[in-house]
Amino acid sequence: MKYICPLITVADIQRSRWFYEKILAQTVKYDFGENVTFQGDFAIHQQAHFQQLIGSKPVRPGGNNFELYFEHDDINEMVSRLKEHQVEFVHEAREQPWRQMVVRIYDPDMNIVEIGESLGFLCFRLSKDGLTTEEISAAVGIPQEFVKNAVAGFGI
């Protein structure tokens, strides 16, 4: 068996597609009408159609028990873009216990979307703040070799 992708149901496929394409800059991989798959392999499915496929069982959006995770290294720029589009925030940018900056928002169907800086950029940022490879490794919980490669990859 091979895992393919997560699929979330949406009330309005066009509204959700616009959100993921225009606000979160995702690219459509396949468009099957009631089902759209994006590069990175996650899909949105028209709720009414999906509900028919599962025998009219109820679909309950907005349970705060699932999120889609994306990475974008300029979190402040992303927060500005989200505010321009009046996106509802779960919370604005905040540092996680492992030092990664993330923001969480709701998509149009109240699914949580997390946007965090990549671990590579996190290592670079902490290095710019003066932390050593060892300190970054301990704070983030990743091997020192990863930290060294990440920092070198961003030009320091």
Three-class DSSP category at 17 = helix
How does DSSP classify residue 72?
Answer: -
Q: Report the DSSP beta bridge partners of residue 112.
A: 67, 106
Q: What is the pLDDT of residues 130-142, one digit of tens each?
A: 999 999 999 999 9
Q: What is the pLDDT of residues 35-89, one digit of tens each?
A: 999 999 999 999 999 999 999 998 887 888 899 999 999 999 999 999 999 999 9
| Helix axes of 119-128 and 144-153: crossing angle, nearest 10 degrees | 80
Q: Determine if the pTM surpasses 0.85.
A: yes
